[in-house]
Amino acid sequence: MDAQTGTSTHAQRALITLRQRILSGQLPGGTRLFEVALAEELAISRTPIRAALSQLAEETLLERAKGGGFVVRSFKLADVVDTIDLRGVLEGTAARYAAERGADAALLERAHVVLRGIDAVVSDQSIDMDAYSALNSEFHLLLAHMSGSDILQREIARVTALPFASPSAFLDDHTRIDTLQKTLGAAQDQHRAIIDAIEHRESGRAESLAREHARAARRNVEYLLSHEAALREGVASLALLSN
């Protein structure tokens, strides 16, 4: 019905609208969301609004307030760093499991295909960031899958859902091409090393490498944040930060 969003129900559209507003910082952390106000603004009834709010709470973007109601979750700078580190810990565990238990051959093969794809993108003169982002995301997805643990995979997906903890966060903020190429090249080296460790069943090495790989993303954030407004401006992934 709704060609714009591709969804049919009011609740779905409200969910998408509100999520976008939270992620963009338009609804800052700590903001309380009132059902009636939202219902009037979106021109629908309270019922689909409540459904949307519930789902946003599942995504951890909202928290239930005491005595009912929802409040936009607020993220401090330390939370961003901790979440990225947490992703490193979880992906490290995934890599370790893959090495210990043995990764599925088809997944490993696909990983090599993805790695070659990233090579092609990075070596190109003008880097296609969308293509890189897609391939990078798939690599991290494959890594989680290789763990062979549904529980772990699910948990990684949860943490990764936060925009600043996504493997492909902070990719669109590199102004100079040479710096970007160097950064992506280093990340790619780590990708290769992780797969190599998994294939050689070196679980400790695999875990350490995956952790360190996330650490690079953390360094990137810390660099962005140390330069305050100048760089932080226009970094979409950080729009929902509190301070």
Between CA 198 and CA 112 the distance in angstroms is: 12
Neighbouring C-alpha atoms within 13 Å toward the C-beta of 7: 10
Pairing mode of beta strands 62-64, 70-72? antiparallel
8 makes contact, choosing from DNA, a second copy, none, with CB < 5 to 8 Å by partner type, with DNA
Nearer to DNA, 66 or 176 (CB): 66
Site map 86..115 versus a second copy, x via CB under 8 A: x--xx--x----------------------
Decide if residue 7 touches a second copy (CB under 8 A).
no
Stretch 149-188 residues interacting with a second copy (CB under 8 A): 149-152, 155, 159
Specify the stretch interacting with a second copy by CB under 8 A; choose among 19-27, 51-59, 105-113, 128-136. Answer: 51-59
Binding of DNA at residue 155 (CB under 7 A)?
Answer: no
Within positions 53 to 82, which residues make up the interface with DNA, using CB under 7 A? 67-70
Identify which of residues 73 and 205 has a Cβ nearer to DNA in the complex. Answer: 73
**Which residues, numbered 204-233, are part of the site for a second copy (CB under 8 A)?**
none
In the complex with a second copy, which residue's Cβ is closer, 58 or 178?
58
The residues of the shown chain that bind a second copy, judged by CB under 8 A, are 50-51, 54-55, 57-58, 76, 78-79, 82-83, 86, 89-90, 93, 149-152, 155, 159
